[in-house]
Amino acid sequence: MTCLRYLLFSSLILSCHIASAAEPPPREVLIADLLGRMRLEEKIGQLRLISIGGEMTRERIREEIAAGRIGGTFNSVTRQDNRPMQEAALRSRLGIPLFFAYDVIHGHRTTFPIGLGLASSWDLDAIERSARIAALEASADGLDMTFAPSLDISRDPRWGRVSESFGEDPQLVSLIAARMVRGLQGTKPNDPQRIMASIKHFALYGAVEGGRDYNVVDMSALRMYQDYLPPYRAALEAGAGGVMVALNAINGVPASANAWLLRDLLRREWGFRGVVLSDHGAISELMRHGVAANGREAVRLAINAGVGMSMADDLYLEELPGLVRDGEVDEARIDEAVAAVLGAKYDLGLFHDPFLRIGRAADDPAEVNAESRLHRAAARAIARDALVLLENKGDTLPLRKGGRIALIGPLADSPVDMLGSWSASGRAEQAVTLRQGMQAALGERGKLLYARGANVTDDARVVEYLNRLNWDRPEVEQDPRSPQAMLEEALRVASQADVIVAAVGESRGMSHESSSRTRLDLPDSQQALLRALKATGKPLVLVLMNGRPLALGWEQANADAILETWYSGIEGGHAIAEVLFGEHNPAGKLPISFPRSVGQIPSHYNHLRLGRPYREGSPGNYTSQYFEAANGPLYPFGYGLSYSRFELSAPKLSATRMRAGEKIEVRATLSNAGPRAGSSVVQLYLHDEVASVIRPVKELKDFRRVKLQAGETREVRFEIDESMLRFFDANLRHVSEPGAFRVQLGLDSAQVREARFELLPPD
């Protein structure tokens, strides 16, 4: 059947027959042949990526597709929806298949923890597994591409999209980037179960000024190269097929019009040949940025800069023909962009079989949301590892299964908030809440009492804002009772219990696109609830659900235990219960620092050295500090407790000198001195003592996640080679410079033990 389609490609009939009945011509031959026969309008059609569910009716969309005026779609997520569109594409003059994309960010039908949660596991295999499952499920729904992973280094928790990110560290995020791409794309060409990764948001979106979404980014080249660009590059080196361009401007030029970014860096320097997509409506936004006076100018800028497909924006369609006719855009630019789109479709196997992922109608699932389509066991296992124990005074946790437990809080029984932002096709009804998870774990062995206690917020403006977001049901359902009535009920319930578990944080819409915050503390309604619960004198365990680092000064001082759970996905309730009751020993580590207050931002651990650094214990005058508050983060990058006590020895080096080409081995012993089996993450940081440009105080280079039985000790080894000592110098050369380095080994980024070595100059 596949080859029949190539009967249309008259010049290719022969090669098609000769090659094999199932194979299209070789990639470049096919692209060149099609480009040679496409009309300008058909080429421009390939660059149009439309959102299904917008203003156009389905019928109109099919007409546009059949007329060769659409290259790909997003936001339709079933085989039944996608099949007629693909059939329409095959009716177009050249029969070029469509691709179908969607935001599959942290799972598809099965919702896994949000990005920050996945990163908290420091378990690259588990992260890859989550991506693989997402690809299996998405491809089974007829999808070919996802707009993921989000690889924006995020150091500003005010930014709502921190929740989608993997945190603040270039090395950790780069390692995750490569695994996400492998998980999504698989390793076999034409695999019906692979989907293409379109990484985003290129570039630097996480650095929007003030953490305010869509704001500008102004950044030195050194910082870009050193800290912000590596994850995107790692994903491309892992073979990511697509790149989505960021909505922000970079040093005065919007990314969507930024020829330096898209041509010089992405295409020339990095050699990327895949498809470059705009973000939603970004080309029209060039007018609002004020770099284009009208749509025609916006299109000229975008296509010449290197934006291939325009997302949800008809300006290419309207303006490109005239621009080419008038010689303002060289058709070669369009050919280059179209070749990338055709190449992506080829790599997705769509020229082999346009229905590769859509399949046959007879095989369509009867119920797309069927339980049998979910991967609950994996979701639960991954969710467990995403939980970070921040406090556990006097071994308050784990809880005994027995007695009376008061579960209180607006997030204790809120299914939609388990999912987190961008939960694709996840269904709230299929999410296990904390209340359900604890009840299931407890069974008849104890009594779980429940009260909502407070609304997420009492601020009507915020509720209105969250509910205005374009979702299919109110995001935040307010309990109509008065705050006082809810509080009284909570106190009544608490008074009957031995321990209080308070589920507090943010509703998921508070950590989302366009949900930047000026405050990082809990909303007032929840703070009032916690203060009242504290006043009961009962042990107080906080289960946090949130999509960004929060400022938890009061909570740290007053809670007996704090478990950070982010938004942990459809199996979150079970996973959290396992940790609360000690069936699972928590091992998560923060992928981002938690500042004490908004005023401390940025608070990332890998900051540059200063001429007047603040010194713990002797602040003095004229050192870099905030004088009216404690310095340093509340919880540092890499931090997380366990129910066991892990002890790490000082690092021992196999040599104290090394030349390029040689290696130094770092050894240390990790002991589990606590009462139960558990895992911890040994983190290796390096610091370059003297260099031609200022170097960070430390940089994560490697880590090992180690599981130990109670009482077990194991040696942990790392290797250091010269490539790990490289950095970008003032001329943006990636170099190492001879001199002294410190090896810093720890179970978080703040408490490290050191050793020194020297990189010798070449002979």
Q: Beta strands 72-74 and 196-202: pairing type?
A: unpaired
Q: Cβ of residue 279: shortest distance to ligand NOJ, in angstroms?
A: 5
**610 token code pair:** 């200063």
Using alpha carbons, select from 666, 661, 679, 693 the residue that is nearest to residue 759.
661
What span, in angstroms and rounded, lies between the C-alpha atoms of 310 and 559?
Answer: 50
Residues with catalytic function: 279
When asked if residue 200 is in the footprint of ligand NOJ (CB under 6 A), the reply is yes
Of the candidate residues 169, 279, 319, 347, the single one contacting ligand NOJ (CB under 6 A) = 279
Q: Cβ of residue 469: shortest distance to ligand NOJ, in angstroms?
A: 13
DSSP string of 368-412?
Answer: TT-GGG--HHHHHHHHHHT-EEEEEGGG-PSPPSSSEEEEESTTT
Q: Cβ of residue 369: shortest distance to ligand NOJ, in angstroms?
A: 21
A 10 A CB-CB count for 673 gives: 13
Counting Cα atoms < 13 Å in the Cβ hemisphere of 375 gives: 22
Using alpha carbons, select from 282, 292, 280, 278 the residue that is nearest to residue 323.
292
Q: Cβ of residue 258: shortest distance to ligand NOJ, in angstroms?
A: 16
When asked if residue 103 is in the footprint of ligand NOJ (CB under 6 A), the reply is yes
Say which residues have a Cβ less than 8 Å from residue 693's Cβ, sequence separation at least 6: 222, 727, 728, 729, 730
Of the candidate residues 79, 155, 280, 375, the single one contacting ligand NOJ (CB under 6 A) = 280
Nearer Cβ to ligand NOJ, position 413 or 513?
513
For residues 406-435, which are near ligand NOJ according to CB under 6 A?
A: none
Q: Is 84 in contact with 349 (CB distance < 8 Å)?
A: no
Q: Alpha-carbon dihedral of residues 413, 415, 417, 418, nearest 10 degrees?
A: 100
Using alpha carbons, select from 291, 267, 295 the residue that is nearest to residue 281.
295
What span, in angstroms and rounded, lies between the C-alpha atoms of 726 and 225?
Answer: 12
Element (H, E) at 24: none
Indicate the residue type of 69. Answer: R
Phi and psi (nearest 5°) for 680?
-140, 170
Nearer Cβ to ligand NOJ, position 417 or 513?
513
Nearer Cβ to ligand NOJ, position 286 or 406?
286
Q: Beta strands 699-708 and 752-759: pairing type?
A: unpaired
Nearer Cβ to ligand NOJ, position 242 or 588?
242
When asked if residue 213 is in the footprint of ligand NOJ (CB under 6 A), the reply is no
When asked if residue 147 is in the footprint of ligand NOJ (CB under 6 A), the reply is yes
Binding-site size, ligand NOJ (CB under 6 A): 6
Nearer Cβ to ligand NOJ, position 353 or 475?
475
Write the Ramachandran bin of 167: left for phi over 0, alpha for psi from -120 to 50, otherwise beta: left
Nearer Cβ to ligand NOJ, position 280 or 517?
280
Nearer Cβ to ligand NOJ, position 101 or 438?
101
Counting Cα atoms < 13 Å in the Cβ hemisphere of 255 gives: 28
When asked if residue 313 is in the footprint of ligand NOJ (CB under 6 A), the reply is no
Binding mask 503-522 for ligand NOJ (x = CB under 6 A): ----------x---------
Nearer Cβ to ligand NOJ, position 144 or 513?
513
- For tokens 């270039």, the residue is 170
Using alpha carbons, select from 762, 645, 749 the residue that is nearest to residue 687.
749
Q: Cβ of residue 150: shortest distance to ligand NOJ, in angstroms?
A: 7
When asked if residue 100 is in the footprint of ligand NOJ (CB under 6 A), the reply is no
Q: Cβ of residue 513: shortest distance to ligand NOJ, in angstroms?
A: 6
Burial class (CB in 10 A: 0-12, 13-18, 19+), 628: exposed
User: Closest residue to ligand NOJ, Cβ-based?
Assistant: 147
Nearer Cβ to ligand NOJ, position 156 or 513?
513
Q: Cβ of residue 309: shortest distance to ligand NOJ, in angstroms?
A: 12
When asked if residue 141 is in the footprint of ligand NOJ (CB under 6 A), the reply is no
Q: Cβ of residue 281: shortest distance to ligand NOJ, in angstroms?
A: 8
Q: Cβ of residue 657: shortest distance to ligand NOJ, in angstroms?
A: 48
Q: Is 146 in contact with 184 (CB distance < 8 Å)?
A: yes
- Report, in angstroms and rounded to the nearest whole number, the Rg of the chain calculated over CA atoms: 27
Instruction: Return residues touching ligand NOJ (CB under 6 A).
Output: 103, 147, 200, 279-280, 513
